[in-house]
Amino acid sequence: MEHGTADPRRRVPRTDEVLNDPRLIAAAGRLGRAPVKAAVIAAQQLARAGDLDPAAVADTALATLPATPGGLLPVLNATGTVLHTNLGRAALSAAAIEAVTAASGHTDVELDLATGRRARRGRATLTALAAAVPAAGAVHVVNNGAAALVLAATALAAGREIIVSRGEMVEIGDGFRLPDLLESTGARLREVGATNRTSAADYAAAVGPATGFILKVHPSNFVMRGFTSAAGIGELTGLGVPVVADIGSGLLAPDPLLPDEPDAAGALRAGAALVVASGDKLLGGPQAGLLLGEAALIERLRRHPLARALRVGKLTLAALHATLEGPATPTRRALHADPDVLRDRTTRLCERVAAAGVDATVTPSAAVVGGGGAPGLELPSWALSLPERYAAALRTGRPPVAGRVEKGRLLLDLRCVPAVADDTVHAAILAASSAAGG
C-alpha cells in the first residue's frame, strides 16, 4: 500500500464528511440520522484500529446498517418451533400485514363515517371475533392473555377469592407466574386439590360467599403424566359461581391435529362463563388477549376503569380482524405443512449447498408447537443438518437464520420458513460457510 507506513488514524475521514455520502444521506432519510451516525462511528473506530481500509468507512457503515427501521430484525425461523416465544410467537399473515399498513394512518377505528359520530372502538374486529365463536354472548379484546386475566380477576374477584387447582398454578415464562399475577389484582387465591389430582368435590368444598370465580387454567407448556386427574369445566358449572377458563392457546374451534388443545367454543359449550386466550399463539394473530363469554360479564369487564389501560391499539385491531377473516395464517400453514413437501425442499437445499462444498445432510426432525400450546406433541418434519459452528454464523448473518443444535449438529427445519425464502436460506448458508470456515 502506498501510505503503508503512515499512521492510519491520520487518514480516517471525519464523521461529517462520511455522512455527506449521498448513499448515507438516503439511508438517514429512511432510517433516521442516529443509526447511520452510529454505523459511521463504528466503521471509523475499525479504521483507526487498523482493521479497516479508511477508504472503506462509508461502504462499511452502509453495509452494517439495519435493513429496516424499527430496531427489530426479521429472522428466518428454522428452529422447527412454530410459536417461538423468543422470535415473537406467531408470524402475521400477508392479509394481517396489509391490514396493519392500511390502519397505520388515520382510520375510522372510533368514528362512524355514515353519521359522523363516535362509534364503538374496533367494532368491526369485535364483530368478526363474535362471528368466529357464535357460542359467545359477547367478546372483548385487550393487550395480551395476561391482561385478560388481570381484567377478569380485578373486575370479578378483587377483595374476594379465586378458586384454582394446585395443579394449575403455572409459570407462563420468564419467571412470570399466574398466581402472582392474579394476586397482584387484590384477589386472594383459594388453592384446592393436590398437584396431580383435583376433583369437583375439592372445588365444591371451597365455594362460599367470598368466591369471585373458579379458574381453570390449561397447562399449555407442560404435561403431567401418571396418577393424575382434573375436574372438567362441565363438572364445575353447577356450583353457583362463574367458571373462567384460561385456555391459553387461542384456538377458537377444535383442530384435529391438536386433540388435547382446548378451544374457546368447546369451553363455552361446556359451561364456562368466560374464556381467556392469547391472540398470538395458535390463532396466529397479533399479540392480544381475547375475552369471550356471557354478555353481562363481558360488559362488566368492558366498563371497568382498568379496561381503558389494557385497550389495544388500532394496529392490533386491524391485524386481529384480518387474522380472523383472512386466509390461513403462517401458524396454521406451518402446523399443517406436508412432511413430504418439507423433505423435498430440504433435499433440494441440501443438494445445492453440498454442491458448494458444505458438509450437509438431510435428517428427520421433530418439530413442536412451542410455548403457544400442545406441549409434548411432535410434528414429523425434516431438517438440513450442518456442522454446529454454522449456528452462530447463521444467527448473526443478514438476514439472521435461527436453527437448533442437537447432538453436535445444527438442524434447519424449513417448516416455519416460507418456501419463497428457500433461496435466502441457501445464500445465508453459503455466506455462513465462508464465515464459519467452510
> Rule CB under 6 A: which residues touch ligand PLP?
144-146, 172, 217-218, 220, 246, 248, 278, 289
- Work out the angle between the directed axes of helices 339-355 and 422-435 (0-180°, nearest 10): 40
Cβ–Cβ under 8 Å, residues 69 and 31: yes
Secondary structure letter of residue 50 according to DSSP: T
Rounded Cα distance, 292 and 275, in Å: 5
Closest C-alpha to 78, from 422, 401, 372: 401
Of 60 and 323, nearer to ligand PLP (C-beta) is 323
Residue that has been written with the C-alpha cell 454446529 in this structure: 388
**Closer to ligand PLP by Cβ: residue 124 or 181:** 181
* Residue with smaller CB distance to ligand PLP, 334 or 369: 369
Cβ 426 to ligand PLP, closest distance in Å?
34
Least CB distance from residue 219 to ligand PLP, whole Å? 7
The minimum distance between CB 410 and ligand PLP, in angstroms, equals 28
The phi and psi torsions of 229 (rounded to 5 degrees) equal: -160, 150
Give the nearest distance from C-beta 272 to ligand PLP in angstroms.
Answer: 14
Which helix or strand (DSSP H or E) is residue 19 part of? Answer: helix 15-19
CB of 250 to ligand PLP, least distance (A): 8
Residue 317 has which C-alpha cell? 385491531
* Of residues 21 and 263, the one with the C-beta less far from ligand PLP: 263
User: CA 417 to CA 24: how far, in whole Å?
Assistant: 32
Residue 395 contacts residue 318 (beta carbons within 8 Å): no
Nearer to ligand PLP, 21 or 261 (CB): 261
Residue with cell 381503558: 308
Q: Minimum CB separation from ligand PLP for residue 172, in Å? A: 5
C-alpha–C-alpha distance, residues 271 and 278, integer Å = 20
The residue among 145 and 266 lying less far from ligand PLP, judged by its C-beta, is 145
Q: Least distance in Å: CB of 382 to ligand PLP? A: 28
206 or 276: CB nearest ligand PLP: 276
Measuring CA to CA, which residue among 381, 302, 388, 287 is closest to residue 338?
381
Q: What is the DSSP letter of 229?
A: B
